[in-house]
Amino acid sequence: MPQPFSMAIHGGAGTILREQMSDELQVSILADLEASVRAGYNVLAKSGDALDAVVAAVKVLEDSPNFNAGKGSVLTNKEMVEMDASVMHGLDMDAGAIAGVRHIKNPVELARDVMTKSNHVFLIAEGAEEFAFEHGYEFIEQDYFFTDRRYDQLQSMKEKGLFALSESKYPDDKKFGTVGAVALDQHGNLAAATSTGGITNKKYGRVGDSSIIGAGTFAENGNVAVSTTGMGEFFIRKTVAGDVAARMRYLKEDVHTASESVIQGELKEMGGEGGLIAIDHNGDVHFAMNSSGMYRACIDVDGELSIKIYADE
Ligand code: ASP
């Protein structure tokens, strides 16, 4: 029997409220989600590697202003964009991550290159950019990443004197908007990638879970690949992505049970709002969320496409 393959992506937990979602925006978001999952799936269909598939899928969402990653990232307290990303390949459990980069068009590519072209796993800020420029990356001005929507969002947050940690008072309807992808390829490799601008009004070089292996991203062949989205301060402390993998590895839970146990369990009890996407070694996909929704799509082992926004869909 041929090795099954499948692909899943997310565009962040905590979606825009139904009543505030215009038809135009919804059409645009759905088109991006479809383009992303298809970009990844096309790599898999041509017998490509799961890591190339997740990077291809995440790049599509980084390039869209609709999501909080790459172009369209949220703004820091100093009105800058500072982005975090990570990737993991399940074969040798290789990983790469970057945090606090300001001038890299596709942070997910840089995370991959940290994994494949450096002896390190995690590079930050100016150092990560120095590494990037040494490896031929173009310097991208901050203007490229800016969108009016994120600027208004930051001003509203500042006027109210709120920090993004007051997640229950997010002016943007609790929309987190981080992006991520997980894939199983035809060689049985699992991979995961996550990319984000973090949270609005962040200060002091704050970094969330998205660039932390075991919190925001995890992949282990024969087991599972996971990418998360939500309030990073909780996801880091609960090592969410790694916990799903550990439950499957030690408790022999399936991907659905493990994902739900983590997202609806102690994480939720401690106030950790968000969700995750996971794909197991058979290509079985699970979307878990304790938020009002999560932008998400998958193409399953039968080649069936599914795209959803709200939790009750
Ligand atoms: N997890 C991200 C962070 O805390 C936010 C998000 O998922 O949108 O930086």
Q: Is 257 a catalytic residue?
A: no
Contact 190, 34 (CB under 8 A): no
Does 120 map to a domain?
no
Residue 180 located in a structural domain = yes
108 part of a folded domain: no
Based on DSSP, count helices (H) and strands (E) in the chain, helices before strands: 9, 12
Give the domain range for residue 238.
Answer: 6-94+146-310
Number of domains in the chain: 1
The answer to whether residue 109 sits within a structural domain is no
| 210 touches ligand 1 (CB under 6 Å) | yes
Rounded distance from Cα 2 to ligand 1 centre (Å): 37
Rounded to the nearest whole angstrom, what is the distance from the C-alpha of residue 46 to the centroid of ligand 1?
32
> Using CA positions, which residue lies closest to atom 7 of ligand 1?
229
Q: Are strands 224-230 and 274-280 parallel, antiparallel or unpaired?
A: antiparallel
Q: Please say whether the beta carbons of 41 and 165 come within 8 A.
A: no
Question: Catalytic one among 15, 76, 178, 228?
Answer: 178
Q: What CATH code is carried by the domain that includes residue 80?
A: 3.60.20.30
Mark the ranges of the chain whose per-residue pLDDT is less than 70: 1, 15, 161-176
Inside any domain, residue 118: no
Say if ligand 1 is within 6 A of residue 293 CB: no
272 alpha carbon to ligand 1 midpoint, in Å? Answer: 11
pLDDT of the residue at 168: 39
Domain presence at residue 270 = yes
What contacts 186, CB < 8 A, 6 or more positions away? 2, 3, 5, 44, 47
Å from CA of 61 to ligand 1 middle: 15
Q: Which DSSP helix (H) or strand (E) runs through 195?
A: strand 190-196
Domain membership of residue 34 (yes or no) is yes
User: Is there a domain that residue 214 lies in?
Assistant: yes
216 CA closest ligand 1 atom index: 1
Q: Are the C-beta atoms of 140 and 105 separated by less than 8 Å? A: yes
Q: Quote the pLDDT of residue 20.
A: 75
Query: What distance lies between CA 255 and its chain's CA centroid?
Result: 18
Q: Which residue has the tokens 């309807």?
A: 173
Q: Are strands 285-289 and 122-124 parallel, antiparallel or unpaired?
A: unpaired
